Amino acid sequence: MLSLDFLDDVRRMNKRQLYYQVLNFGMIVSSALMIWKGLMLITGSESPIVVVLSGSMEPAFHRGDLLFLTNRVEDPIRVGEIVVFRIEGREIPIVHRVLKIHEKQDGHIKFLTKGDNNAVDDRGLYKQGQHWLEKKDVVGRARGFVPYIGIVTILMNDYPKFSYAVLFLLGLFVLVHRE
């Protein structure tokens, strides 16, 4: 019944209304991209918002928590700080706590991480032969979070058909909504 109502609404639209709705949808998408780029500039992080995808940081963060990140170059990395880092060869960043810091005499800093809910440190996750992370590996540092709001992202990753349904419904809403 829903699909028939949608088709009737689209048929009743004249070309100008349809173009307006498509333009409106394009403006929403471009606004979201501009907000994302603005957040990247403000926070200094390539990914200012991330979703926790595993339970490795429980009880501090749970699967589905939304983290807000900053990555100021001038801020030193400290033991106990929660960082989001990317490992070469892996697409998805990891959220873990800094366990140890190793500072060389020239001021170059390397550090070791570990998930709060993991029994061992992250050396097994790093690429072959890598024993420490460097500042260049850091995507950002956790500055705040909203619990469980990112569960939709997890559902969309785990169930691709769900993501298509959500995108279809959002597009349908934009096209049919006339205000």
Given 5, 31, 65, 122, which residue is catalytic?
Answer: 122
The average confidence (pLDDT) of the chain is 88
Catalytic annotation present for 96: yes
Structure tokens at 90: 């892996």
The string of pLDDT tens digits covering residues 52-74 is: 999 999 999 999 999 999 998 88
What would the pLDDT profile of 17-58 be if each residue is shown by its tens digit? 778 878 888 898 999 999 999 999 999 999 999 999 999 999
- Of these residues, 45, 56, 65, 137, which one is catalytic? 56
Q: Check the CA dihedral 92-97-100-103 and report its sign.
A: positive
- Whether the CB-CB separation of 95 and 142 falls below 8 Å is answered with yes
Output the CATH code of domain 49-147. 2.10.109.10
Question: Sorting pLDDT into bands at 50, 70 and 90, what band is 1?
Answer: very low
| Catalytic residue chosen out of the listed positions 96, 108, 137, 158 | 96
- Contact of 117 with 56, CB cutoff 8 Å: yes
Place of tokens 């333009």: 23
Predicted TM-score of the model (pTM): 0.77
**Is 30 assigned a catalytic role?**
no
Per-residue pLDDT tens over the stretch 146-179: 999 999 889 888 888 988 888 888 878 777 776 5
